[in-house]
Amino acid sequence: MNKNNFIALVILFFKCFMIILFLGYILPKVFNTYLEHFTENTRNGDLFVISKQNRDIISYVIYYIKSYFY
């Protein structure tokens, strides 16, 4: 393995690590700052924990949008 292949491999691993870090840590934190009133647990990046009342409101909104278009 020559030097250029090794440098390319290191850059590839670094890119994969940054993508995983972005998707798993930074993106849920950013979404939680915007969707704090939707979620009950906003710690640790729990993105898809939606309380029952807000889930009912969201389902009603989706139902009215669907009934408007069909």
Q: What is the pTM of this model?
A: 0.38
Longest dimension (CA), the chain: 63
pLDDT score for 55: 61
Whether residue 29 contacts residue 45, with contact meaning beta carbons closer than 8 Å, is answered with yes
- Tens of pLDDT, residue by residue over 9-61, are 999 988 888 887 777 776 767 666 655 555 455 455 554 555 555 566 667 77
- Give pLDDT, residue 18: 83
Taking alpha carbons only, the member of 60, 23, 26, 56 closest to residue 38 is 56
